[in-house]
Chain A
Amino acid sequence: MGTTGTPPGVGSSVVTPTTDSPSAPAAPVGLSSQAEVSAEIAAQARARTAATPQPRLDYPAYRSSLLRHPTKAPVPVDPEGVELWAPAFGERDLDPAEADLTASATGGEPIGERMVVTGRVTDGEGRPVRRQLVEVWQANAAGRYAHGRDQHPAPLDPHFTGSGRALTDDDGRYAFTTIKPGPYPWRNHDNAWRPAHIHFSLFGHDFTQRLITQMYFPGDPLFDLDPILQSVTDPAARARLVATYDHDVTSPEWSTGYRWDIVLTGPRRTVTEDPDA
């Protein structure tokens, strides 16, 4: 048993509890155990029929998806008109200081590992997504969100809100200064923990490239146990959600550095198309 039959996660190694393990504590009534959820994850991985880069929407191991995934196939359509354009954002929409999540309104420094995350946003042909909006949000170093419904009994940090915005530059690059978020428990199943992650919201060249996703940190032991990450059943695609530690992004005596590039696909209008044409 153990991890037998479980596909490799993303560069992690962890002992998955099994249903017949005498050391596995009994789950509270009404909640599945991690072993049961891990078995579901493994079964979904075995049932994978095609390499697809996107998460399965019908992924029962993520309990909240049960009543919230469409059961009918999405209808293919040729994007047209406004769908071939993305909303425009610019300097008037945000302040460059919003890219520094450690710059608190209180003037105090947040607790945690200061880090920079940077990368490029490109389309499926490798072209930079220029001057476009990137939004991030995350838990604090203790794994607690500055959100009223987060009931995790970990401390809030008065000097850390955990949301930021930036525009990509002309090469599609973004950069945020923040602190490394902690993992946190949730109630998908008994003893469920999310790997540490930063939420990213992205706009591309056209409306169909709109993407909301999550960036993870290399080597996290929770990868294999997490149904949200594992809903991306293609291991290669899953790996693209994991940032790379980059010592060239790390600054001496200041912060560690991670690199994470983002690729937004979807049809793209031809470069000659213009809304005023």
Chain B
Amino acid sequence: MPEPTPGQTIGPFYGFALPYAGGPDLVPADHPDAIRLGGRVLDGAGDPVPDALLELWQTGSDGRPVQEPGSLRRTADGPFTGWGRVETDPEGRWAFTTLRPGTVYWALTVFARGLLDGLRTRIYLPEHTDDPFLATLPPDRAATIVAAAVEGGYAFDVRLQGEGETVFLTERPHVGRGATSAARGLETADE
């Protein structure tokens, strides 16, 4: 079995390579069902993270995964691809223009300078807090991955560390995957 390639930080200088025009706009702002999903990325001191890159991945309104290319060159009449990318601004703010997923959450990936590997989480729609996975979390932790309904869309902050630290996810260990939480040096983190 081939062994996994380790991750490394995205570093500070991805800005000329990864972000692109249209990346944050999964649908045009004038799409009849367009909503805005946005917030901030904050560090352990509560300060904004101005050099994070976020990627959103979601179903269409019908709840099915999308397999349409075209995310990197969006056109007004192009297909909904279900994927977008946005970098934070100097105040740590980010926003996507997109659709409500047909399922209960958006999938989100977080990269940043200072973060040695990417992090994954889910952004739950606020009307789906009865989700079975959320029910397995303490209420204060579950609340960190539920969006707030706001005018025109939803608000969601990513807190990398400290008070209100976002719940990040790892797939359950299985054959060929060695990156359990204990092995990553986090075994005493809750103590």
A contact set with B: CB distance below 8 Å: 49-59, 62, 64-79, 81-85, 87-94, 122, 124-126, 133, 135-137, 139, 145-150, 161-163, 165, 199, 201, 207-208, 210-214, 228-229, 231-232, 236-238, 240-241, 261-267, 275-276
Contact = CB atoms under 8 A, between A and B. Distances in A.
* A-B residue pairs, 8 tightest by C-beta: A90-B69, A64-B114, A137-B17, A163-B17, A87-B83, A68-B114, A52-B183, A74-B170
A265 B5 CA distance: 8
B190 A207 contact: no
B125 to A, nearest CB: 13
Interface in B39-75: 43-45, 47, 49, 55, 57-59, 63-73
Contact of A199 (B11, B117, B174, B182): B11
Residue with the greatest number of chain B CB neighbours at <10 A, chosen from A66, A69, A211, A266: A69
B178 A122 contact: no
30 contacts: A51-B183, A52-B179, A52-B184, A54-B183, A56-B185, A62-B114, A68-B44, A70-B165, A70-B189, A71-B161, A72-B190, A73-B181, A73-B190, A74-B186, A76-B172, A83-B57, A90-B70, A122-B2, A125-B1, A126-B1, A137-B14, A137-B17, A199-B10, A207-B109, A212-B7, A214-B8, A263-B4, A263-B5, A265-B176, A267-B172
B119 interface: yes
Interface string B108-139: 01011111111110000000000001000100
Contact of B169 (A77, A148, A240): A77
B6 A72 contact: no
Interface string B152-191: 0000000011100111111111101111111111110110
A150 B181 CA distance: 34
Contact of A68 (B49, B65, B172): B49
Contacts of A261: 2
Contacts of B71: 87, 89, 93
Contacts of A64: 9, 113-114
A149 B12 contact: yes
Number of contact residues on B: which range applies?
35 or more
A72 B186 contact: yes
Residue with the greatest number of chain A CB neighbours at <10 A, chosen from B8, B72, B81, B174: B8
A135 B17 contact: yes
Residue with the greatest number of chain B CB neighbours at <10 A, chosen from A65, A66, A87: A87
Interface in B3-31: 3-18
A73 B170 CA distance: 9
Contact of A56 (B111, B114, B184): B184
B107 interface: yes
B183 A78 contact: no
B69 A89 contact: yes
Contacts of A87: 57, 66, 71, 81-83
A236 B190 CA distance: 29
Given A53-B6, A137-B17, A67 B177 contact: no
